[in-house]
Amino acid sequence: MKKVERINIIMRYINNRSRFTISEIMREFNISRSTAIRDIREIEAMGMPLVAEVGRDGGYFVMNNSVLPTVRFTDNEIKALFLAFMATRNQQLPYLKSRHSLAEKLLGLISENQQDDLVLLNQILLFEGTNPNNPDLLDLSDLPHPMLEQLIQNILLDSYLWITVQEGKELKFYPIYLLHLYREKSRWLIESFHLKEEKTQIIPVDSLTDVEPYPVKNRLSRKKILEKQRLQKKDVNLVIDLGPNAIAQFKKYHPLTVSISYTNPYQTSARLNTFVDVRNEEEISEMVSWLLFLGEDVVVREMPGEVLYEVNKRGWRY
């Protein structure tokens, strides 16, 4: 454990105790007596009001009505936080106002030299969704759908929801169990289990008009829902083996319903098994585009003729 990380953890450890000793610090953090004493002295120098008790059984305690001093970040930790904020620009994430206030507080914690480094990084680095000629000008709206935050607040209380969905000019009402909330192709999507029709469905958050708890006592348990979902899974009709380059592409992006299993302990080869609905032209087109994205480091074991035809038509020969 790095020194800065250890000292921050020790500060939290001792602030939650009425009293502690050097021996306790040594045992808890597996450090020598001299290291423990140096760390305590450094914590005192940072402003934590520690009071030493003299004697054989002496120790330390934190002065009453005291609080932890300001957390101090290393230069690399500050850059990591700043880059994380930059990378989420234009991602239409919830809690946007909180993200902005966190960025402002971060800048308020750091020195002028550290601020200069962040300004330079902001000028040099470009992320997806920014305009290369004017990085401060976003190409897309940074604001998430207004229902997204409300949806998350409800999920934290209960995954059984009653949602209202706009489909064309009609409003439809669904009782669902929310399995996952995810973002794909710049859209937030809900993977849900329809509690009345007992089937899995994907619902765009953009189509939501209202979200409420689903107040039904006799509910299907999560275990039963997952079991029903498993039984409804289609037979596999697409099987491919992936090499290291294809695995790297897979990690960059893959559809939610697609997963791989590694076939060697070094994770340099893997197998993908999935189902493609050949009656759905849009699903075929999306799957073919994604297979082309994986690249040529694949070996086909099984593939529907409709998918193979489209792949070959686009100029890629397996």
Q: Say what the pTM is.
A: 0.60
* pLDDT computed for residue 255 by the predictor: 82
Whether the predicted pLDDT of 110 surpasses 70: yes
Q: In a 10 Å sphere around its CB, with 0-12 CB exposed, 13-18 middle and 19+ buried, how is residue 150 labelled?
A: middle
Residue 207 has a pLDDT of: 93
For residues 70 and 8, the answer to whether their CB atoms sit within 8 Å is no
The encoded tokens of residue 76 equal 């690399």
Q: What is the pLDDT of residue 175?
A: 94
Distance CA 28, CA 317 (A): 60
Q: What is the mean pLDDT of the chain?
A: 84
Q: Is the pLDDT of residue 112 over 80?
A: yes
Query: What is the token pair recorded at 24?
Result: 């306790």
Q: Which CATH class is domain 3-62?
A: mainly alpha
CB atoms near residue 291 (< 10 Å): 23
The C-alpha atoms of residue 311 and residue 101 are separated, in whole angstroms, by: 47
Scan for tokens 């979200």, then name that residue: 211
Which of the four CATH numbers 2.40.160, 2.30.30, 3.30.70, 2.20.28 does domain 146-232 have?
A: 2.30.30
Which of the pair, 213 or 85, is modelled with greater confidence? 213
Residue-range domain boundaries for the chain:
3-62, 75-138, 146-232, 238-313
| Residue 249: pLDDT over 70 | yes
Residue-wise pLDDT tens digits, 126-144 = 777 666 666 666 555 677 8
* DSSP for 236-304, written as a single string: P-EEEEE-HHHHHHHHH---TT--EEESSTTS--EEEEE---TT-HHHHHHHHHHHHHH-S-EEEEE--
How many Cα atoms occupy the beta-carbon half-sphere of 217 within 13 Å?
A: 0
Helix (H/G/I), strand (E/B), else coil: 108: helix
Question: Which residue in 299, 245, 248, 307 sits closest to 272, CA to CA?
Answer: 299
| Other CB atoms within 10 A of residue 182 CB | 12
* Interior/surface letters 106-133, b for 16+ CB within 10 angstroms, e for the rest: beeebeeebeeebeeeeeeeeeeebeee
Q: Hey, what are 102's tokens?
A: 């966190």
Beta pairing class for 60-62 and 50-52: antiparallel
CA–CA gap between residue 271 and residue 290 (Å, rounded): 16
Domains 146-232 and 238-313 share a fold: no
Q: Domain spanning 238-313 has what CATH number?
A: 3.30.70
pLDDT of residue 13: 84
What is the Cα–Cα distance from 106 to 74, expressed in whole angstroms?
12
Q: Dump pLDDT digits (tens) for 5-21.
A: 888 888 888 877 778 88
